[in-house]
Amino acid sequence: MKAIAVTPKQTNSVRLEEMDKPKTSDIKNGRGVLVEVLRVGACGTDREINNGEYGVAPEGYDFLVLGHENFGRVAEVAENVTEFAVGDFVVATVRRPGYSFYDDIGEQDFTTDDEYFERGISRLHGYMAEFYAESADFLIKIPPAIKEIAVLLEPLSIIEKGLKQASDIQERLKIWRPKTAAVLGTGSVGLLTSMALRLRGYAVHGFGKDARDGYLNADLLEEIGVSYDSTMETTVAASTEKYGEYDLIFECTGYSPIVFDAMQSLNQNGVLILASVTGGERKTDAIPSDKINQQFVLGNRVMFGTVNANREHFEIGVKDLALCEAMYAGWLGKMMTHKIEGLENFAQAFDVLNNAGKYRAIKAYFEVKKI
Ligand SMILES: [Zn+2]
């Protein structure tokens, strides 16, 4: 079978590899499921791995099959799989257990290991292939009604984990009735976050770098009742004069200095969620640290980081995708701006990823096989 692979840590090594088709017997305890891949999303993580920034090949290989945002159809099940049947639509989670206590109890998204196992990213092959085999334990069943947009589930699962943790943390308050939220960043993650917050009844304000005019992402935000402001014209802190302080802020810009701006824009008892992986060396000075610290102390404010997702977050995501289709029919489909037909056209996908601004791309994805 065909697969898209890279040599980790080598710049622009993306290519097609020919591999053996996996088998259900590759998975232990008779829990194997063979999945025919239908769609795979391509994102900044794939771009950064192909840039040689990170990524680790599985043991015994000198290449890594890319792809973590997946959607497929069950082709075969082993003898101890009762929860899936041939023909079911599924999405697989990404991280697999390592060695820490959290991994032992199935909470590998909270691992304390420094080396982790993630399909398509670190030590495990990914989903940019015609088939994959996986334990039924790591597969999520997808209702046929959301098959067209289910490839968005993996990126949404990261957001669901952040929002679930925020509500878990806020149980400290006994009563928390958040009304307004700011979403910093208006790429595909920012759009999905804004959607998830709208489904929960928040008044949502989105912030991006781009000018409003002709910005498709801002059009989509406004379609679901989210305001858009360009940070070239207003800072997040200054925006509170217009919108008030935010009960919840979700940061997904990739630009770390904005975090300090966000810290000053949070309402009393508010919660700030950090979800950008900023791998650079940027430093920021002239931070009003006394003021920020005092606001956090006197206002019982909270800030936390979140990464990856577990099975329960994918399951919440399935419900949100379905609810979004019910409330804003067709909206999620509009995010899927660039379809690449066939794994062999990988160069086209990376061209879109490397020039997202030029292509006005929100989400690029492979159609490996027609649904
Ligand atoms: Zn991704």
Q: What residue numbers bound the domain in which 347 lies?
A: 2-149+336-367
CA neighbours within 13 Å on the CB side: how many for 245? 16
Same domain (yes/no): 197, 275: yes
Q: What is the pLDDT of residue 286?
A: 87
Q: Which of 111-115, 317-321, 340-344 has the lowest mean pLDDT?
A: 111-115
Q: What is the pLDDT of residue 357?
A: 85
Rounded to the nearest angstrom, the distance between the alpha carbon of 120 and the centre of ligand 1 is 10
Which CATH number do you get for residue 289?
Answer: 3.40.50.720
**How far apart are the C-alpha atoms of 155 and 286, rounded to whole Å?**
34
List, in order, residues 6 or more apart from 165 with CB less than 8 Å away.
273, 304, 306
Same domain (yes/no): 109, 6: yes
Same domain (yes/no): 161, 137: no
Same domain (yes/no): 178, 237: yes
Assigned domain for 316 exists:
no
Q: What is the pLDDT of residue 9?
A: 95
Rounded to the nearest angstrom, the distance between the alpha carbon of 128 and the centre of ligand 1 is 12
**pLDDT of 362 higher than 90:** yes
* Cβ–Cβ < 8 Å for 185, 207: yes
Name the amino acid, one letter, at 25: S
233-267 pLDDT, tens digit per residue, is: 999 999 999 999 999 999 999 999 999 999 999 99
**How far apart are the C-alpha atoms of 227 and 203, rounded to whole Å?**
9
Helix axes 153-169, 188-199, angle to 10 degrees: 50
Rounded to the nearest angstrom, the distance between the alpha carbon of 155 and the centre of ligand 1 is 6
Which CATH number do you get for residue 348?
Answer: 3.90.180.10
Same domain (yes/no): 95, 192: no
Tally the domains of the chain.
Answer: 2
Rounded to the nearest angstrom, the distance between the alpha carbon of 43 and the centre of ligand 1 is 5
Mean pLDDT computed over 362-368? 97
Same domain (yes/no): 9, 142: yes
* Cβ–Cβ < 8 Å for 186, 254: no
Assigned domain for 161 exists:
yes
Q: How confident is the model at residue 72 (pLDDT cuts 50, 70, 90)?
A: very high
Rounded to the nearest angstrom, the distance between the alpha carbon of 350 and the centre of ligand 1 is 13
Mean pLDDT computed over 214-219? 96
Rounded to the nearest angstrom, the distance between the alpha carbon of 224 and the centre of ligand 1 is 23
Q: What is the pLDDT of residue 280?
A: 84
Q: How confident is the model at residue 220 (pLDDT cuts 50, 70, 90)?
A: very high
In terms of Cα–Cα distance, which of 21, 34, 20 is closest to 92? Answer: 34
Q: Contacts for 353-356 with beta carbons within 8 Å, 24 or more apart?
A: 353/42, 353/43, 353/44, 353/46, 353/47, 354/47
Assigned domain for 311 exists:
no
Q: How confident is the model at residue 356 (pLDDT cuts 50, 70, 90)?
A: confident
* Cβ–Cβ < 8 Å for 130, 369: yes
43-58 pLDDT, tens digit per residue, is: 999 999 999 999 999 9
Mean pLDDT computed over 342-349? 98
Assigned domain for 140 exists:
yes
**pLDDT of 198 higher than 90:** yes
In terms of Cα–Cα distance, which of 142, 166, 138 is closest to 152? Answer: 142
268-301 pLDDT, tens digit per residue, is: 999 999 999 988 899 998 899 999 999 999 999 9
0.85 surpassed by pTM = yes
Rounded to the nearest angstrom, the distance between the alpha carbon of 160 and the centre of ligand 1 is 14
Q: How confident is the model at residue 152 (pLDDT cuts 50, 70, 90)?
A: very high
**Residues measured by CB to lie within 5 Å of ligand 1, the ion:** 43, 45, 69
Q: Which residues pair with 72 in a beta bridge?
A: 37, 90
Rounded to the nearest angstrom, the distance between the alpha carbon of 173 and the centre of ligand 1 is 33
Rounded to the nearest angstrom, the distance between the alpha carbon of 42 and the centre of ligand 1 is 6
Same domain (yes/no): 122, 164: no
H or E segment and range at residue 73 = strand 69-77
Rounded to the nearest angstrom, the distance between the alpha carbon of 327 and the centre of ligand 1 is 25
Same domain (yes/no): 145, 26: yes
Q: What is the pLDDT of residue 86?
A: 98
Q: What is the pLDDT of residue 81?
A: 98
Q: What is the pLDDT of residue 217?
A: 97
Same domain (yes/no): 6, 123: yes
Q: What is the pLDDT of residue 197?
A: 98
Determine what percent of the chain is predicted with pLDDT higher than 70.
100
Rounded to the nearest angstrom, the distance between the alpha carbon of 70 and the centre of ligand 1 is 10
Rounded to the nearest angstrom, the distance between the alpha carbon of 211 and the centre of ligand 1 is 25
**How far apart are the C-alpha atoms of 108 and 123, rounded to whole Å?**
15
Same domain (yes/no): 288, 239: yes
CA-based angle 85:90:93, to the nearest 5? 130
78-127 pLDDT, tens digit per residue, is: 999 999 999 999 999 999 999 999 999 999 999 999 999 999 999 999 99
Same domain (yes/no): 268, 187: yes
Assigned domain for 313 exists:
no
Assigned domain for 236 exists:
yes
* Cβ–Cβ < 8 Å for 249, 262: yes
**How far apart are the C-alpha atoms of 138 and 154, rounded to whole Å?**
12
- Can you tell me which residue has the tokens 């006994």? 174
Same domain (yes/no): 26, 99: yes
**How many C-beta atoms surround the C-beta of residue 76 within 10 A?**
15
Rounded to the nearest angstrom, the distance between the alpha carbon of 290 and the centre of ligand 1 is 37
Mean pLDDT computed over 171-190? 97
Rounded to the nearest angstrom, the distance between the alpha carbon of 91 and the centre of ligand 1 is 14
